[in-house]
Structure 1
Amino acid sequence: MTRYRAPRATRRTALAVLGAALSASLALTACSTTSGGSSGGGKEITVAGTYSIESLDPASPSGGGATGTQLTSKALFSRLVKPKADGSLEGDLATEWTPDGTATQWTFKLRSGVKFSDGSDVTADDVVASFQRFIDLKSTNAANFTGYTMTASSPTEVVLKATKPDAAIPYKLAVFFVMPKSVQGEDKEFFQHPVGSGPFKLEKFDSAGTVVFAPNSGYYGGEPKVTKVTIKKMPELAARLTALKTGEADLIWGIPDDQLPQLQSDSNLTVQTVPSTAVFTMWFNSSIPSLKDAAVRRALWQAVDFATIIKQLYPQTGTLSDAPVSPVTLGYSQQEAQKYDPAAAKAALQAAGFDFAKKLRLQFANAEFRQFNQAVVSDLAKIGVQVDLLEKEQAVFTKDLLALNWDINFQQLSNPTFDGANTLGRLYTCAAKRNGYCNPDLDKLLAAAGASPDKNERVRLYGEAGKIIWSDAVGMFPMAVKFAYAWNKNLTGVAPDPNGLPDFSTIGVSGS
């Protein structure tokens, strides 16, 4: 699943707006308490969200894979298993999960006594019906389970059967949420007042993108410590920062580097950056003649001084990537760094007969990535490579991405499953047709990695696959991303999430 942070203002504009807002509210900031943002006290918290929340249905074919939907789903619904911050798995509805000898069949034993927020029992039939709905609606994440089936082998056990050996099934289930079996199809009425077995219940969801959660007193893991969570949509950077400083918001994330020093100097705030599953990824369209040659793709990568770009734009939240996936992803294996050498890059392009007169099309979505891509275009221009930088609306970007209507494609690729099967295994096969690249040897490695029940063997095989992807320059992989969070110090139990999906059920409020 591809994830995008909300657009941010330019540095100069953001700083100017923030400075004016903070000056005007200095007296308020000095005397305010933040025991619940704008709620006025108690155990309520307010979150300034960066994501658009347009749907609460995690199986929706149109919005189920969206980051905002995944954020709310974690609060409202349960999963069979869920990833921890370090990428390891823990049980949610399932207490045990075991494969057969070939990893084509997985058995999940269910936790007893779990109830939905309306008081009804969560049963194996609910799990099976939710999985079938998930598959039938063909959401983005359902592509991980094409042809798979689930049955209830007993009232406390479900069995998931795959069409081929698949050792990554538990990790892939990180994006599968369970709801009552009565929910069928795109049940819009249900999601106005959803019933789930997660830590919270829905109190409000309006067209402005505001979501309000109340604790689910019957949650099997214990009732959350806060009495209310309000998520307010604030896509503008200056608005989020001002809300945090004045106490209107208690928690924000997705903070750009140029704003971090100011927040870090505020004794009322805690600021933390955490490694994420995200990697800046710039695929080449290998299906077009000018980019078909791996030597050309490697030369273009060699022509960009990513180390300097990252140091200038992302000194705290970016590090030079050394693999196609992040270090917290199962399947990560360090590769040999691509050396910046523009003279060698130009010579290699000339030797390969590269047409310098033809412009390449570099597409991206979201304004926050504009400056990074402008820097890439600038470096390529220094060796005579002409690039049209195309900033597209998200819907147009996605349509063109799938149609291969681009020459270079920029994405911030995240991996909510923490497993290489969801990125390497899903996006780089010949059948995927995501970037015009096809290598039967790579397909064999990816298939073997996905099938092996031995975790160490999977890591080894994904490492070999990553080496092919890296050395063939299927894309440029410039930066491993860290997510920056900031929160008022009276919050306790905040656990920054590597996918930008914080868990509100662990948060408490101390003091007044």
Structure 2
Amino acid sequence: MTRIDRRALFTSGAAAALLAATGTSLSAAPRPGGVLRLAVPRQDGLMEQVARGAIFDTLTEIAPDGVLRAELAEAWHSSEDARMWSFDLRRDVRFHDGTPLTADDVVASLKGRRIEGAEVSGVQQVADHRVEILLRAANPHLPYLLASPALVIAPAGQVDRPLAQAVGTGCYRVERAQDGRHFRAAKVADHFKAGHAGWVETVEVVVIPDARVRAEALRDGYVDVAALPAPEGLIEKGGFLYHPSASDMALAARSDVGIPRTVGDRTALDDGRIAERWWRI
């Protein structure tokens, strides 16, 4: 059985600072530059999920080695009963429109949103760069849960705008987009993750419903990565990489695409970060 939607497009990948943790060799280290072009099917909103992973950040992040790491939050702590949590925000973050990230944006983005696995009774600002989340019941896993791609942060909480109008703090800024058809974004200069993620200069995602056409687009060099159920039409040509394998594949890529060796184990390739974690060799 193929796993296009959960095992193909949402791979956690290695960044330079994570080489030791992931086991990636220096020769396979991510390299900056180039364009990464992806072809995806129409179902399950896969284009939108990849695009949102490029545009937005969350308070925390599950790294490729499965370890919880800070993202928009730089530190956090809880009360002894694990019901009151405080998150200190990074001070060097700006949204793509140039406005600085504040606690107000975080509160507006999270208020009223369901945090899977936690019972939230309140989210509030306690300082310009600090928010508190109060839970109805103790939960020591809240920082881990906040890494969910459903809990992205946007200015004034505008997390559900159409892709063409989406503004986040992610490694890529939207250049053009049409929901369900195509997406193009450019690397943000001087991003706070520079040197750790966001390797290519441009990310493009195009929806191609027919798997045979996606395979042809990859074979003929029109795209660099394609979500595919099987390697027909590619293996005999050679020069392609298959993920997880040719016999149980969900993704195929050209040989000049850097595919991270280590995959986060929270769930199967679920975090939508392929745009910022894959690279061109």
- For normalisation by structure 2, the TM-score amounts to 0.74
Give 1:197 shift: 0.5
Counterparts of residues 377-416 of structure 1 (less than 5 Å)? none
Counterparts of residues 283-432 of structure 1 (less than 5 Å)? 316-317=247-248
> Aligned pair 1:270/2:259, yes or no?
no
- Does the aligned pair in 2 maintain the 1:48–1:233 contact within 8 Å? yes
> Aligned pair 1:72/2:46, yes or no?
no
Instruction: State the alpha-carbon separation in 2 of the partners of residues 494 and 246 from structure 1.
Output: 24
> Aligned pair 1:45/2:36, yes or no?
yes
Q: Which amino acid aligns with 1:181?
A: A
List gaps (5 residues or longer) in structure 2: 7-32
> Aligned pair 1:104/2:83, yes or no?
yes
Aligned to 2:252: 486
Aligned to 1:305: none
Aligned to 2:64: 85
- Does the aligned pair in 1 maintain the 2:123–2:132 contact within 8 Å? yes
Instruction: State the alpha-carbon separation in 2 of the partners of residues 97 and 115 from structure 1.
Output: 20
Match of residue 143, structure 2, among 170, 194, 205? 170
Larger radius of gyration: 1
- Does the aligned pair in 1 maintain the 2:39–2:214 contact within 8 Å? yes
Counterparts of residues 109-148 of structure 1 (less than 5 Å)? 109-132=88-111, 134-135=112-113, 142=115, 144-148=117-121
Match of residue 203, structure 1, among 169, 175, 180? 175
Match of residue 504, structure 1, among 268, 275, 279? 275
Match of residue 181, structure 1, among 156, 163, 166? 156
Aligned to 1:239: 213
Give 1:69 shift: 3.5
Could you say if the C-alpha distance between residues 218 and 181 of structure 1 is closer, same or farther in structure 2, counting changes exceeding 3 Å? Answer: farther
Could you say if the C-alpha distance between residues 146 and 165 of structure 1 is closer, same or farther in structure 2, counting changes exceeding 3 Å? Answer: closer
Could you say if the C-alpha distance between residues 246 and 192 of structure 1 is closer, same or farther in structure 2, counting changes exceeding 3 Å? Answer: closer
Could you say if the C-alpha distance between residues 493 and 220 of structure 1 is closer, same or farther in structure 2, counting changes exceeding 3 Å? Answer: farther
Instruction: State the alpha-carbon separation in 1 of the partners of residues 187 and 211 from structure 2.
Output: 29
> Aligned pair 1:160/2:133, yes or no?
yes
Give 1:75 shift: 0.6
Give 1:88 shift: 2.4
Give 1:206 shift: 1.6
Could you say if the C-alpha distance between residues 488 and 85 of structure 1 is closer, same or farther in structure 2, counting changes exceeding 3 Å? Answer: same
Aligned to 2:11: none
Instruction: State the alpha-carbon separation in 2 of the partners of residues 260 and 207 from structure 1.
Output: 28
- For normalisation by structure 1, the TM-score amounts to 0.43
- Does the aligned pair in 2 maintain the 1:485–1:496 contact within 8 Å? no
- Does the aligned pair in 1 maintain the 2:39–2:225 contact within 8 Å? yes
Give 1:77 shift: 0.9
Aligned sequence identity (%): 22
Give 1:240 shift: 1.5
List gaps (5 residues or longer) in structure 1: 7-41, 54-65, 136-140, 275-314, 318-482
Could you say if the C-alpha distance between residues 192 and 261 of structure 1 is closer, same or farther in structure 2, counting changes exceeding 3 Å? Answer: closer
Deviations 1:81-132 (A, max 9, x none): 1112343221111122333222212222222211111221111221111111
**Structure 1 or 2: more strand by fraction:** 2
Aligned to 1:63: none
Give 1:149 shift: 1.6
Instruction: State the alpha-carbon separation in 2 of the partners of residues 237 and 170 from structure 1.
Output: 38
Instruction: State the alpha-carbon separation in 2 of the partners of residues 247 and 126 from structure 1.
Output: 41
Give 1:265 shift: 5.6
Segments ≥4 residues shifted beyond 6 Å: none
Aligned to 2:26: none
Instruction: State the alpha-carbon separation in 2 of the partners of residues 4 and 47 from structure 1.
Output: 13
- Does the aligned pair in 2 maintain the 1:201–1:216 contact within 8 Å? yes
Please tell me the root mean square deviation across aligned C-alpha atoms, in Å.
3.1
Aligned to 2:27: none
- Does the aligned pair in 2 maintain the 1:83–1:171 contact within 8 Å? yes
| Higher relative contact order, chain-length normalized (CA < 8 Å, sep 6+) | 2
